[in-house]
Amino acid sequence: MGLIVVVSVLAGLAAAYFARLCDWAMEAQASLYAARPEFAVMLLPMGFAVAVWLTRRFAPEAAGSGIPQVIAAAEQRWRGRWGGRRVTLRTAAWKVVLAAWMLICGASIGREGPTVQVAAGITRTLTRGLTGGPGRRAMIIAGGAAGVAAAFNTPIAGVVFALEELGRSFERRTHTTVILVVVVAGFTAYALQGDYAYFGALGRDSDLRAAWLAAPVLGVVGGLTGGLFSRALAWVIGPRDNPLTRWRRGRPVLFAFLCGLVAAVCALASGGVTFGAGYHEARALLHGDAGGGLNLAGWKFMATLAAAVSGAPGGIFAPSLAIGAGLGGALSETYLAFAGREAVVLGMAGYLSGVVQAPLTSAVILMEMTRDPGLVAPLMLTSLLARWVSALIMPTPIYHLLAEVWRLSPRQPG
């Protein structure tokens, strides 16, 4: 028990300092864009290529989000030489460095997926010799859950994420371990970062009538767009062979360079709103300080897809929230003018649920992020509808599809 607590503290520390590093990286990129916009845009293709070369050369297990690797590592049926390499301290260290590098370059990625892999690597590696405890699989799941909780300051969502995504069928004793690790890691991150709501507290004065009216629309829209994103992602880096996947495997660095060019075009066309995780843009829409939701949603969709298929480290959680905020903001400017910020919140939940097909996690994470418990029921309706619509386009949830690819491959998928 004592070792588990210590390891949980270390996971929380890693998540908190990784968050600070990523914030610094995005601030550095914003300063560069303000001073030399042409150089900042030109850095994208080179940055993508460098990140993929380093990843494939030194840490192929650090590619992509990190959540599929954790799911694959947590699968009990997967036994073999390559299982543990997905979640190690070495992989975690490279993940931190390369994800920060991608943010400095302006890639549309998030830190939340990488945080899950980093935290799982810490909990798994440092409890490897533990006997009579919860087991290695439980510590991987607990570490991943702690990563979500610490990354977003959402402890309940961390537990829900573990139940819904990381370990869909695990032993009862694992529940206690997950909750303990999430609480300790979350408290550690809280002690360092303070009490904050990810997007700022909205209060309790939401218009529930407007939210209920907007929820079905945003559930369908979020499910359609999120499902299309996952389908496109699976087509490029999924298990099915096609000319593009073969070309990507044969020329990974050149492919990444071209993905960076796509991201650069998106940045130029959007006026720079596609740079980074999208936190500031989503927050501005949420608090009514900005328009241009369709501009954000459309170009961010393309920039995030380019980063996700490139093979470089980086998550899709935060960019998905920004895209969803853009969708909600765009609809609130037109057809859902009565909804306002409620449409933005529901748009985030709908699109996130459409991409990852985890409706409980999507609803709870938005409730905790905004600290508006009154929106729980509309959030659930939006997320469930989005998951149902998305499943019509993409029958297998994207994280689990990619986890299967990781399970079958000793290197990185694609």
Query: pLDDT tens digits, residue range 253-271?
Result: 999 999 999 999 999 999 9
CB 349 within 8 A of CB 211: no
Q: What are phi and psi of 197, to 5 degrees?
A: -95, 135
208-408: CATH, from 1.10.3080.10, 3.30.930.10, 2.40.50.180, 3.40.50.10860: 1.10.3080.10
pLDDT at residue 50 greater than cutoff 50: yes
Per-residue confidence (pLDDT) for residue 414, from 0 to 100 = 42
pLDDT at residue 27 greater than cutoff 70: yes
Give the sign of the dihedral formed by CA 360, CA 363, CA 367, CA 373: negative
Mean pLDDT, residues 364-377 taken together: 85
Per-residue pLDDT band at 45 (split at 50, 70, 90): very high
Q: What is the pLDDT of residues 314-354, one digit of tens each?
A: 999 999 999 999 999 988 887 776 767 889 999 999 999 99
pLDDT at residue 237 greater than cutoff 80: yes
Class of the domain covering 2-193: mainly alpha
pLDDT at residue 83 greater than cutoff 70: no
CB 255 within 8 A of CB 248: yes
Per-residue confidence (pLDDT) for residue 240, from 0 to 100 = 82
pLDDT at residue 40 greater than cutoff 90: no
**In 3-state terms, what secondary structure has residue 394?**
coil
Closest CA to 383 of 300, 334, 338, 324: 324
Distance CA 342, CA 327 (A): 12
Mean pLDDT, residues 90-96 taken together: 94
Distance CA 66, CA 69 (A): 5
Q: What is the CA radius of gyration of the chain?
A: 20
pLDDT at residue 231 greater than cutoff 90: yes
pLDDT at residue 187 greater than cutoff 60: yes
Q: How many CA atoms lie within 13 A of 117 on its CB side?
A: 33
Least trusted range by pLDDT, from 11-25, 105-119, 184-198, 367-381: 184-198
In the chain, where are the structural domains located? 2-193, 208-408
Give the sign of the dihedral formed by CA 166, CA 172, CA 173, CA 178: positive
Percent pLDDT > 70 in the chain is 87
Per-residue confidence (pLDDT) for residue 124, from 0 to 100 = 83
45: Cβ–Cβ under 8 A, 6 or more apart, which residues? 257, 258, 259, 260, 261, 263, 264
Query: What DSSP state is assigned to residue 64?
Result: B
Query: What DSSP state is assigned to residue 315?
Result: B
The pair of three-digit structure tokens given for residue 109, joined into one six-digit string: 């990625």
Burial class (CB in 10 A: 0-12, 13-18, 19+), 194: exposed
201: Cβ–Cβ under 8 A, 6 or more apart, which residues? 370, 371, 372
Distance CA 286, CA 283 (A): 5
Least trusted range by pLDDT, from 7-21, 89-103, 108-122, 190-204: 190-204
Q: Alpha helix locations (H) across 194-316?
A: 208-237, 243-250, 252-270, 279-286, 293-309
Mean pLDDT, residues 296-308 taken together: 96
**In 3-state terms, what secondary structure has residue 110?**
strand
Owner of token pair 């990286």: 25
Closest CA to 278 of 323, 338, 229, 233: 323
Domains 2-193 and 208-408 share a fold: yes
Per-residue confidence (pLDDT) for residue 130, from 0 to 100 = 61
C-beta atoms surrounding 197 within 10 Å: 15
Closest CA to 161 of 103, 222, 119: 119
Which range scores top for mean pLDDT: 171-180, 318-327, 364-373?
A: 318-327
Which range scores top for mean pLDDT: 24-28, 129-133, 157-161?
A: 24-28
Tell me, what amino acid is at 151?
Answer: A
The residue among 393 and 132 whose pLDDT is bigger is 393
Q: What is the mean pLDDT of the chain?
A: 85
Per-residue confidence (pLDDT) for residue 273, from 0 to 100 = 93
Per-residue pLDDT band at 203 (split at 50, 70, 90): low
245: Cβ–Cβ under 8 A, 6 or more apart, which residues? 236, 237, 238, 414
Q: What is the pLDDT of residues 374-405, one digit of tens each?
A: 888 999 999 999 999 999 999 999 998 998 88
pLDDT at residue 411 greater than cutoff 60: no
